[in-house]
Amino acid sequence: MNSQYRVVVIGGGVVGASVLYHLAKMGWTDVALIERSVLTAGSSWHAAGGIHALNADPNMAALQAYTIDLLSDIQEESGQNIGLHMTGGLTLAGTPERWEWLQSAYRVFQSIGIEDCELLTPQQAQDRCPIMSTDGVLGAMWADREGYVDTTGTVHAYAIAAKKRGARVFEHTKVEALEQVHDGWIVKTDKGDVRCEHVVNAAGLWAKQVGRMAGIELPVSPLKHHYLITDQIPEVAAHDFEMPMTVDLEGFTYMRQDQKGILIGIYELEHQHWAMDGAPWNYGMELFQENLDRIENELMLGFARYPSAENVGIKTWVNGAFTFSPDGNPLVGPVPGKKGYWSACAVMAGFLQGGGVGKSLAEWMIEGEPEADVFCMDVARYGKFAENKQYIKETTGQFYSRRFVMSYPNEQLPAGRPLKMAPAHDAMTAAGCRWGSSWDLETPLYFAPSADFEENLTLKRSNAFDIVAAECRNVRENVGMVDITGFSRFEVSGPNAEVWLNNVMASKLPAPGRAKLAPMLGEDGRLKGDLTILNWGDGTWWIMGSYYLRAWHMRWFDDHMIDGVKLRDLGEEMCGFALTGPNSRKVIEKLCHQDIGALKFMGCGAFDVGMVRAKVARMSVAGELGYEINCRYGDHIKLRRTLLEAGEEFGMREYGFNAMLSLRLEKSFGIWSAEFTQGYTPGMTGMDRWIDWDKAFVGKAAAQAERDGNGPAQRLVTLEIDAQDADASGYEPVWNGDGRVGFVTSGGYGHTVQKSLAMALVDTDYADPGTELKVHVVGIERGARVIPPSPYDPAGKAMRG
């Protein structure tokens, strides 16, 4: 082992081997993998090895599809047989709600380019899996690109292919400590020290300890997982084709053929954590004793689904550990505040996602950005709050137990909540507020009319529909007040603040006492933020954006920082309320001694709102006359009381983010993670109208190439949909005849215009207003048409008045 490498990958499972291979494939051959035992020790050797391209997140689906395509190439390149079996796969639905969900999901998969799916009747499903009972099955979805691999062979194939390209692999070498130095890291092993520029934590079950070696507390935890392999089943042996991968969602099981028997895996409701502080160092190729009492109910459902399995013995029990993150997705990318330290852990489905993880991390390290939008697995999607052990335990356990439990878009899951609450949280709860969660913060959804109101879980319009309608109506006709603690706020100051802002923001900067919308771009010209810059006129600036992107944006800011700039995240200091509606000026004028009525649209300044010293900006997400009133945390309760008392005579009511969604759709205002993502460009989304082309900024060359070339292939439009009892929500396909021409980015009901609305990215040829299209909403085809943007108040008179 040399004393120096450019990159050291810690961990010899499928993810570490994939990272090593992709680094070498992209030309970084001075790389080494260090494994304390042997390759596959930990989770990889006993994994079930299932693969499928289906995933509700299109970016994750693309990475999974990449992995599947890569597997045969790895086998050929390495010469190592990986035991690839592409059997196809079934997903079963056993309740009307699940069948409705599956039909909707089928259309979403079409949206994201997965074309090998089809919906089946129970009999058609049984024809493809003859050993399956169809009792209780209402329908199924088939996917061609499903199957399984030999897990040990696949890890060795990645490693052999990497070594053929110049990479090194060292087994039986234990990493004992890490030391950060000015030019990288020192990896201290029981075989000596190794210096490197980059270190990758792909340590799997030991990711927690390897994180702590660098002073990092990663939100991961191992949980135990069961599967069994039967003896030979005559009904399986009688067929000349393999049984397909089959997921029984109501039965909490998955099945695949194993030789002439079957493998049945169980995601039991009674989950069990193990070694939350990391696996023992001497653990590696061991398994736990099976716990039949814990999995009895799910096991019985599995045997009922595959009755022939009851008549043979069980050849092998596997009860092993896998690591999970709070939302089940991997933790990948550069760790904020630890230059040169990369995470590649919590990849629960390593053989399915490992190829895409390796590709993305290698691109990130070598080229500065991954090709795909990988926010869904970016380690910076979590903040310090996720280091809490109880939070990790609750959320990882919830994900495991709900692996096959149906979720609804309006469902609020309880694990890890409530965590952070705005100061006026209890008072708002007493007023009927129902809460959602954004990052670590409780955010208001709507205000229920009575304490015993419960929202029904549904894919369609819920019984909160009329509540939200009333909140929207009051905003449009009177004045509404919404808690805006859930906005991010960064303070920028220092002698070079303006220079720095000019470089990282693509827009012109606002004059003193003014605010301006500001797209932020990556070097590749894709979006990094849809932000608002406020110039307070005293040498300080604010950047406001999406609360849940705080750590992600802070990492980006830090990576592009220059001397002479002070940057502070105000997320633990500032909060506030927004007043929205035609009477909002009357309310705030009643409370201010200064002439706030003279504050123009997109103006900002410091004002006394009653006895609260506040920073006020005249802007509105709802497209009405409005004011965002920012205060210190300690003033939040007082500010709420003051505003409610002053607003009573003007019909003021509190409202939540569900109404805000409806109001902003009526204005064709996009939001991050829907209309704006790091996978989209300014030209696609219309954000190019805010760009100042006369200055230099990060990403200018790429953005200019799009502007001066043929332009984007797709553009953001507003759709009116002929919906009935359900509205589009996101990723539904948009059709012209039988041709798919785009997909919905977000949708809902416009209560003011009384239309079902959606925003969508569609092929440029179909982006003109008046174009007739079709959209599948909860699996049902509906007529739709492109309409001019801002169906409510298209001239913007209300918010500028």
Task: Give per-residue pLDDT as tens, 560-587.
Answer: 999 999 999 999 999 999 999 999 999 9
Q: What is the pLDDT of residue 801?
A: 85
359 in Cβ contact with 62 (< 8 Å)? no
Quick one: which of 538, 511, 529, 411 has its CA closest to 462? 411
Q: pLDDT of 416-437, one tens digit each?
A: 999 999 999 999 999 999 999 9
- Report the run of H or E that residue 53 belongs to, with start and end: none
- Report the run of H or E that residue 248 belongs to, with start and end: strand 245-248
Tell me how crowded residue 339 is: count the other CB atoms within 10 A of its CB: 16
- Provide the residue type at 27 as one letter: G
Distance CA 377, CA 346 (A): 9
What are 704's two structure tokens? 């200019």
> Which parts of the chain sit beneath pLDDT 70?
none
Q: What is the pLDDT of residue 62?
A: 86
Q: pLDDT of 348-392, one tens digit each?
A: 999 999 999 999 999 999 999 999 999 999 999 999 999 999 999
250 in Cβ contact with 134 (< 8 Å)? no
Give backbone dihedrals phi and psi of 24, rounded to 5 degrees, phi first.
-65, -40
Distance CA 711, CA 708 (A): 7
Q: What is the pLDDT of residue 59?
A: 84
What are 5's two structure tokens? 């490498």
8 in Cβ contact with 196 (< 8 Å)? yes
Ordered strands of the 479-483 beta sheet: 604-609, 612-617, 626-632, 574-580, 479-483, 652-654
Beta-carbon contacts of 14 under 8 Å, excluding residues fewer than 6 positions away, are: 40, 44, 47, 151, 154, 155, 158, 347, 350, 351, 354
CATH 3.50.50.60 fits 4-83+150-221+327-379, yes or no: yes
CA dihedral angle for residue 366, residue 370, residue 376, residue 379, rounded to 10 degrees = 20
What are 432's two structure tokens? 């009927």
Distance CA 380, CA 520 (A): 18
Distance CA 343, CA 9 (A): 10
What are 602's two structure tokens? 């997109």
Q: What is the pLDDT of residue 370?
A: 96
Distance CA 278, CA 204 (A): 9
> Would you list the domain boundaries of the chain?
4-83+150-221+327-379
Strand 139-143 and strand 168-170: pairing? unpaired
346 in Cβ contact with 325 (< 8 Å)? yes
Distance CA 614, CA 259 (A): 70
What are 756's two structure tokens? 């079902």
Q: What is the pLDDT of residue 353?
A: 96
**How long is the chain?**
801
What are 112's two structure tokens? 């994201």
Give backbone dihedrals phi and psi of 664, rounded to 5 degrees, phi first.
-75, -30
